[in-house]
Amino acid sequence: MKRGVVVKWLGRLIFSLIILLLGIGQARALDLPKVIDKTNCSQYKDLLIPALYRAVERGEWIITPGQINFKYKQNDGFLAASAKNEGKFDVTHEGDLVDKHTGKYPENIYGYPFPNIDLKDPK
């Protein structure tokens, strides 16, 4: 039982670190120090998930941010499938994705369901 909890916790932590390193973007990456530790973690509280922030604050973890040397882009097949999805899907009042023509939940989706998002659309 304990081993499963530890493995789950470590998995979540590693996933969080990956998200942190990939999600902060190039603009923020230039502002990050070489190390985030308990001496400077309060400056980066908004970038860290609460559990990771507490671990760094207690001195249990030291984060060394990495540089991302490429621009993230989906593959061409995924982007082509996304373009074909234009106008096929809708969102219910509850926030569920449905097929616009049948009103049912789609069985499989490949590509972004909404490749061009209109920020003025309330859905």
Q: What is the pLDDT of residues 2-32, one digit of tens each?
A: 766 666 777 777 777 676 666 555 444 456 6
Domain tally, the chain: 2
pLDDT at 73: 84
User: Max Cα separation, the chain?
Assistant: 56
* 91 secondary structure, DSSP code: E
Does residue 62 lie within any of the structural domains?
no
Do strands 97-99 and 89-91 pair parallel, antiparallel, or not at all (unpaired)? Answer: antiparallel
Tell whether 13 and 53 lie within a shared domain. Answer: yes
Does residue 86 lie within any of the structural domains?
yes
pLDDT at 122: 72
Going by pLDDT thresholds of 50, 70 and 90, the confidence category of residue 55 is very high
Tell whether 14 and 47 lie within a shared domain. Answer: yes
Does residue 51 lie within any of the structural domains?
yes
* Residue 21, φ and ψ in degrees, nearest 5: -70, -35
Does residue 63 lie within any of the structural domains?
no
Give residue 82's domain range: 73-115
For residue range 82-123, list pLDDT tens digits in order. Answer: 999 998 999 998 889 999 999 899 988 899 998 888 888 776
Tell whether 23 and 53 lie within a shared domain. Answer: yes
Distance CA(95)–CA(30), nearest Å, equals 36
Three-state SS at 81: helix
pLDDT at 24: 55
Tell whether 14 and 42 lie within a shared domain. Answer: yes
Q: Please, what is the Cα angle at 95 between 89 and 97, to 5 degrees? A: 25
Tell whether 53 and 96 lie within a shared domain. Answer: no
Tell whether 6 and 53 lie within a shared domain. Answer: yes
pLDDT at 102: 92
Does residue 66 lie within any of the structural domains?
no
Does residue 64 lie within any of the structural domains?
no
33 Cβ neighbours under 8 A, 6+ residues apart: 40, 65
pLDDT at 59: 94
Tell whether 49 and 14 lie within a shared domain. Answer: yes
The tokens for 86 are 């234009």
pLDDT at 123: 67
